[in-house]
Structure 1
């Protein structure tokens, strides 16, 4: 809600500057600031109607979900890294066994 209030304050200041410096040619430029300010006012009014506890719980839930998603991705990366390391270890052991078998075969012949 602080974001909306800050945006509303900024748009109000821009509107005041528009009125101060551009009053001579209002008809030639679209009045975007008023439209944006109206949207901010409606947005802020809607947000203020929401029960604060519900909003707080929803935001905390969303934050926890984002954190959980990040931890899940991190776990997937680590599992993948471990699997790659295991695969390389198995390849090395197989290669060592092959070398030992080749050496034994050469010694016997």
Structure 2
């Protein structure tokens, strides 16, 4: 990306005066297009990281709850399923993600 930004400094001195405006406009479109692509890629990675963080928090919460249940209490599959769903909702992932995302998001 830096090479593309600096390219105009090498190209511009060798261009005739009447076409400099067109060359600069084309260069600007190229740079803006690449920046948009980088922002899109960042957004995709941010979305993936958010999902992974949420799943990791849920898993950690499940592991913690399962250790508490090992103490001899027998549970049914339905009860276990409900507990997993409830754990997903109450894992605290939404709070953590809400506070982590501002540090990862690009400034506009």
- The TM-score, its normalising length taken from structure 1, stands at 0.49
Structure having greater relative contact order (Cα 8 Å, sep ≥ 6): 2
Larger radius of gyration: 1
Greater share of helix:
1
- The TM-score, its normalising length taken from structure 2, stands at 0.50
